[in-house]
Structure 1
Amino acid sequence: MRIERRLLAGLTTLTVTLGALVTPAAASASPSEPPLGEFLRRALDGLAFEEVLDTAPPTAAAVVTTDKEIATVRRAPATVIAPIAQQPQIDATVLELDAAGRIIGSATVLMSPRYPDGVVVDVDRDLHTTDVRWREWDDEGWYANQGQGTVDIVPGREGASLDFMSPYPASVMKLMVAFGVLRLIDRGTATLDEPYPYRPAEPSTLCGPDADDTLRGYLDRMLTESSNEAACALIKFLWDRSAVDELNQTFQNLGLETLRLLNTRPSNGGRWTNSLTMSSLDTAKLLAIVNGGPGTLWTAPNGHRVTKNELSRASREFFLSMLHQQGWNWMLSTTNYCGREYPAPGIPQKVAPRWIAADGTVTVAGTSFGADVRPCNRAAEVTFAHKPGWVSTSGADAGIVTSLPGERPRHYIISVFSNLGEQYVDANRPADAGPSAYTEKFARLGALIDAYQAHRR
């Protein structure tokens, strides 16, 4: 019966997608289309994420989780690679925006061993929910307790109808760091071109040695090529300015209750553990501030009216410019692999010119993708200002999608967190696939959502 439901969901999703691909730009969604929340749930369910293979199954490898900066998975021999033990954890949000950046629609869907078909989260008009008991990620607990977490992220949610262990955000957490640094710059206590000598007081395998750069340089490297060393420097900078606790309180004041930059080391900016938390909904809302929009974006539970002015115009424009120059286009968008049979095409975005060599190939932080992206850039329909993240048991991507001139209008924020990091692969992944941190199912999800959004407009 489970397989039959999968096939039905997949056919429903495919019908919507094909309709989007062959129908001219429309002013609104067809009456036959499901609402956004149900569409997102069906899309996730139809993609059958539980079919991925585990390169380090629990019976054949030990998971080391004491500290994310040095966490490793002792991978099993290829002969014992097995299907994933249970339904993966996935937390996905889409915020629909009008041309000015107002939030006009939203949907959040959770999947886990508890909710294998996916469940749409009840979110109020202020994009807030009390229906979820958010828990910190725990690798061993995911295996041993069927995805049941034990450490609460938001207090007082014992009576919530949904219980969900939030995947570790990996490098998407760098959005929180950038927000904190830019807030200090807006306050006048720092400038983008201020030199900051990074002098870690203790060694770190994550953070690297001494470094010298400006805040602009660290932010650029952290956001566009996902430099961990730059992120450590900026976290230490926040500690040096006694700004970490204040930043965490700011997230609470803005109603972004699951955003927590906790328990990093003041000495070097390292120690990235499971107490770094982000939900897809709160991450999407943070990006809505960065994107900007008129008036009140939402009202926080404390009554604070949140607007784009939580960051100055200059800081928002700088933040967006960095996200637009993202080099790692390989999860929800896969333009770095242009023309390859694998992975599947994702959000049809344009790659930033800074990464493209004379032969059209993309190299980011020493990783070469080997495909000529120029044909895909010519065919691109949108920009995707985003930040991905990946470790062995975390795959995440969050960003703002905007249609290019002349293309079917769409404007939305997409945010996806999962435990499907580099440890998990597709059965159909070819040996010559090139660098691939994620299952291609995420790219298919990105393409489905983009087609749906294009059709709705």
Structure 2
Amino acid sequence: MLLATVAQPAHAAEPDTSGVARQLQKTIASLKFGEVLDTEPPTSTQAARSASVDVDPEKKLAGRDRAPKLKAAALAAATQIHQQPNVDVTVLELDSKGRPVSSGTVVTSPTYKDGVIVPVDQNFHTTAVRYRHWDTNLWNTNNGQGDTDVVPGRENAPIDYMSPYPASTLKLLVGFGILQLVDNGTIKLDDTYAYQPTQASDLCGTATTDTVRNYFDRMITVSDNGSACAMIKLLNDKGAIDGLNQTFQDIGLETLQLKGTNPANGGNWTSGINMSSLDTAKLLALVNGVSGTAWTAPNGKAVTSDVLSASSREFFMKELGDQGWNNVLSTTNYCGYTYPTAGMPQRISQRWIGADGTVTVNNDPTDGKYQYPVQPCQDAAQVTFAHKTGLSENAVSDAGIVKSLPGKANRRYIITAFSNLGYRYIDPNRQEVQPSVNRTEKFAILGRTMDTYEAQR
């Protein structure tokens, strides 16, 4: 049986009636994502078909959390997006032991303009969506419909949906795979790894040598692509990619796929990489820690947080908590700015706050230097948000674990959001600030609205 809004695992005593799915759908519909401006609008159907705008990470900076400054000509040419964008959002509510108790998943596309609620079963699993791999050309020319299935056997599913490319949020999959290698004794975090690509890659850069721990840290906290390439190459070196993808299948997270990467350099981040908001939220629940059985996979396997050791989960959570790019569902980095609007009321890691009280990410004076002290927002914060963001020309994402700060309204939930509204899309009310805001602030409103809802439950 599929439930339209919320589901309750067998270990819970009573059904949850929070209506998080209904609230999420209402919120997404009110945000009017279809009103953003496109700085690279297709000039005609034929032009869109021939345009080289598909996911091409080596040229389009896929997986970065920063973006090149938009040129004046592009801003002047911006017009309203020609159709409803694809947005995929999940809120997974947890009990005091980290167990999922209710969820809401909503997707929008040109077919589902106001957003449709994804039905889930008692294990927070769905077979009601025919997920398709992302293809920007098809999104532009085929009413947002993809043509390559992510999960086989879904031809008769009632919802046909092309999953947005995950951008740098794909690094969650890489991190999970690396920590599984640590847990099985194949590698250690303090091992030194010599990254020696045998094929050139603009995405990945040149040869480097560092510890696995340091590569992992830079991959997650500042979204360094070179470090991610090194870790993907390490997974390939150890023959671990197929096993990682099989693990996702075995624990019922079929839409999580890290496929098609180049063993020579760890690059080639193409449409073979896929993440749905629902399965990403469930993966983060395991990382966060679940007491007992989290859910039962379609193969009958009881899934627990033992997929990673306690020490690996603790390390992963710390890295996510040290995220530098707080600029999608949360916008604390932009504290003091009139734009973008305030997102989720997150207290950010002290790691990036300098003596003058401002944030500088990755010692980057151009893209990572924020102008105003963040202490007012730190003082007003309500939650922590252990998360990973992503940005490319045709993708934006954010996924993480929310917990209330001591003395604040109690909430514990996971929120994950994926969309094709990458840095080519801007808000009509966009303001020139430094660093540039090259993504819509609608995701910040989404984060704030859903957190307010969770605080009032």
Same fold (TM over 0.5): yes
State the match for 2:435 in structure 1. Answer: 434
Partner SS for 2:60: coil
Structure 1 residue aligned with 2:58, among 50, 64, 69? 69
Q: CA–CA distance in 2 between the matches of 1:431 and 1:343?
A: 10
Asked whether the 8 Å contact 2:193–2:211 carries over to 1, the reply is: yes
Check the 8 A contact 1:186/1:315 in 2, yes or no. yes
* Corresponding residue number in structure 2 for 1:59: 43
Cα separation, 2, equivalents of 1:307 and 1:155: 25
- Tell me by how many angstroms 1:65 deviates: 2.5
Secondary structure class of the residue paired with 1:319: helix
Shift in Å at residue 430 of structure 1?
1.3
TM-superposed CA distance for 1:100, in Å, is 1.8
- Segments of structure 2 that go 5 or more residues without pairing to the other structure are 1-15, 62-67
Q: Secondary structure at the match of 1:94?
A: strand
- Following superposition, the deviation at residue 81 of structure 1 comes to 1.1
Match of 1:122 among 116, 119, 122: 119
Q: Secondary structure at the match of 1:364?
A: coil
Name 1:206's counterpart in structure 2: 203
Q: Within 5 Å, which residues of 2 pair with 1:156-305?
A: 156-305=153-302
Q: In structure 1, what is the equivalent of residue 333 of structure 2?
A: 336
SS in structure 1 of the partner of residue 386 of structure 2: strand
Structure 1 residue matching 2:57: 3-state secondary structure: coil
- Aligned to 1:70, the other structure's residue is in SS state helix
The alignment's TM-score, normalised by the length of structure 2, stands at 0.91
Q: 1:77 to 1:185 in 2, by over 3 A?
A: closer
Q: Are residue 78 (structure 1) and residue 75 (structure 2) matched?
A: yes
Asked if 1:105 corresponds to 2:102, the answer is yes
In 1, the alpha carbon distance for the partners of 2:216 and 2:178 equals 9
Distance in 2 between residues matched to 1:432 and 1:384, nearest whole Å: 24
1:179, 1:80 → 2: CA distance? 41
Instruction: Deviation per CA, 1:152-198: give whole Å up to 9, x if none.
Output: 00001000000000000000000000000000100011111010000
Q: Could you say which residue in structure 1 is the equivalent of 2:354? A: 357
SS in 1 for 2:417: strand
Contact 1:123 1:129 in 2 (8 A): yes
Equivalent position amino acid for 1:391 in 2: S
Distance 1:330 1:78 in 2: 21
1:433 is displaced (CA, Å) by 5.7
Partner of 1:132 in structure 2?
Answer: 129
- State how far apart, in whole Å, the 1-side matches of 2:410 and 2:75 are: 45
Partner of 2:375: 374
Judge conservation of contact 1:248–1:261 (CA < 8 Å) in 2. yes
CA contact 1:224–1:327 (8 Å) conserved in 2: yes
Is 1:37 the counterpart of 2:38 in the alignment?
no
One-letter identity of the residue aligned with 2:60: A
Is 1:393–1:421's contact at 8 Å kept on the other side of the alignment?
yes
Contact 2:369–2:434 (CA under 8 A) maintained in structure 1: no
Paired with 2:396 and 2:163, the residues of 1 have a C-alpha distance of 12
Name the aligned partner's letter for residue 43 of structure 1. Answer: T
Please name the residue that 1:19 is paired with: none
Q: 1: distance between equivalents of 2:55 and 2:421?
A: 19
8 A contact 1:253–1:300 mirrored in 2: yes
The alpha carbon displacement at 1:69 in A equals 2.6
2-structure distance, mates of 1:168, 1:77: 23
1:7 is matched with none
Q: Which runs of 5+ in 1 are unaligned?
A: 1-29
Whole-angstrom CA distance in 2 between matches of 1:432 and 1:300: 46
Deviations 1:374-398 (A, max 9, x none): 1111111100000000001101000
